[in-house]
Structure 1
Amino acid sequence: MRGQVLDALRAALIDGELVPGEIYSGPALGERFGVSATPVREAMQQLALEGAVECLPNRGFRVLSRSPRELAELAEVRALLEVPVMLRLARSVPADAWEALRPAAAATAEAAAAGDLPGYAETDRDFHRAVLRLAGNDQLVQVAEELHRRAQWPLPGAPRVRRADLVADAAEHSALLEALIARDLPVVESLVREHFAGSPG
């Protein structure tokens, strides 16, 4: 139950249903999702660890506001972490291993075409996780996924991400696979840096 509520809350955050700066009570959210307040509070504790909300004793949970600077800093850190790894993988991972990731890239394209922002956020993380797992470093995967998730919380007052932006972002996954298969290191580096800088998810 906690996992289902956590997924629902994450989707509501990404979709802008839970508004930055607003305070939400556990019982009210429990009623909204048809569950008791306990799994909501447990899920919110996890979201607090992820930097999405802050706990307010006896009041509930405030959705934290993000700034463009914070998102730019997250993009920079993600690039510092993932670009060297992807360049190393591009030199060593065989083409058939990259081919096996095409379904993951296709899943992001399907979510983008449907305009499903929460679905896109999830499949985007799935794709990046699958790439980084090829490095064989579980700690890397865990840290990168936490940074990725933090980068997906929207800016306060920002317009909803357009479907065209999601489609363009998803297309970069397929282009990255092609570059990795071809071991085209300059293109790999350029695509990853641009992906982080302009990613809607």
Structure 2
Amino acid sequence: MSHAGREPLRLAEQRSLPLRDQVAARLRHALVAGDLRPGEVLSAPTLAAEFGVSATPVREAMLDLATEGHVSPIRYKGYRVIEVSEETRRQILQLRRLIEVPLMVQVAERGVDEGLLGRSQELADQSVEAAAAGDLVEFIRTDMDLHLGLLEAAGNEVAVRHVRSLRSMTRLTGLKDLAAEGRLVETAEEHRKMVRALAARDSVQMEELMNAHLGHVSGVWAGEDEPGIG
């Protein structure tokens, strides 16, 4: 076990990315899943040892996370994980609904090329497989890649950048319990439904799916009760 009694962090296989980006992505996933707790102090040497890399890319990644508002610097010690308040979580979800739902509806109305449709199907399948295996890091990665990839098809780079940041600020501490209970697959299957709606250019179905999917962010994915789930 490592600092604060948690399991050591490991890098995913993303060799096409610079180490700085690999470390930053893994830390964001750990924050979302609740592996890094509010108030926990992170040091570059300790994290570097966990990841099996030098301290330099870790320090660079921590600067990125500090700029994004996930951690705050502590002189001579490292960085402290910032707590996201309930009100902030509510505001994040509100913004995500305002941005993501209409853009996904727009993408469904326009349709996408076969390449993006195939890639989306692959990510949807991978997310279900990760959910079934209880691999939260992979589940969060595929969920992020699927949604951002489709949002990019809307052609609004500013929206994609902000949604990426908002998603990284989300805390989905209920994922561990759902995975342990075998219930994460239920919501992961919604990814496949989204791809089917996309293929059918069914914007009404896409809107319903997106609203339900985002409802999990403040519901079961966050460890809270949710109507119709459970």
TM range (shorter): 0.7 to 0.9
Aligned to 1:79: 97
- Which of 146, 154, 160 is the equivalent residue of 2:176? 160
Aligned to 1:187: 205
Shift of 1:167: 1.2
Shift of 1:45: 0.9
Any stretches of 5+ residues in structure 2 without a counterpart? 1-18, 223-230
Aligned to 1:150: 169
**CA contact under 8 A between 2:105 and 2:203: conserved in structure 1?**
yes
Q: Does 1:127 align with 2:146?
A: yes
Off by >6 Å, runs of 4+ in structure 1:
none
Q: Which moved more, 1:88-97 or 1:118-127?
A: 88-97
Corresponding residue SS for 1:80: helix
Shift of 1:72: 2.6
Shift of 1:118: 1.1
Shift of 1:95: 7.9
Distance 1:189 1:3 in 2: 32
Distance 1:58 1:70 in 2: 29
Q: Does 1:49 align with 2:49?
A: no
**CA contact under 8 A between 2:48 and 2:58: conserved in structure 1?**
yes
Aligned to 1:112: 131
Corresponding residue SS for 1:19: coil
Aligned to 1:9: 27
Q: Does 1:172 align with 2:187?
A: no
Tell me: CA distance 1:191–1:2, structure 2 relative to 1, closer, same or farther (3 Å).
same
Shift of 1:61: 0.7
**CA contact under 8 A between 2:70 and 2:81: conserved in structure 1?**
yes
TM-score of the superposed pair, with normalisation by structure 1: 0.84
Any stretches of 5+ residues in structure 1 without a counterpart? none
Tell me: CA distance 1:185–1:33, structure 2 relative to 1, closer, same or farther (3 Å).
closer
Aligned to 1:59: 77
Shift of 1:180: 3.0
TM-score of the superposed pair, with normalisation by structure 2: 0.74
Distance 1:89 1:36 in 2: 42
Deviations 1:167-189 (A, max 9, x none): 12211111122233334333221
**CA contact under 8 A between 1:52 and 1:63: conserved in structure 2?**
yes
Shift of 1:161: 4.0
Distance 2:63 2:147 in 1: 25
**CA contact under 8 A between 1:132 and 1:141: conserved in structure 2?**
yes
Q: Taking CA–CA contacts closer than 8 Å with sequence separation of 6 or more, which of the two structures ends up with the larger relative contact order?
A: 1
Q: Output the aligned Cα RMSD.
A: 2.5
Tell me: CA distance 1:191–1:159, structure 2 relative to 1, closer, same or farther (3 Å).
closer
Distance 1:3 1:97 in 2: 25
Corresponding residue SS for 2:176: coil
Q: Does 1:22 align with 2:56?
A: no
Distance 1:97 1:29 in 2: 37
Shift of 1:96: 4.6
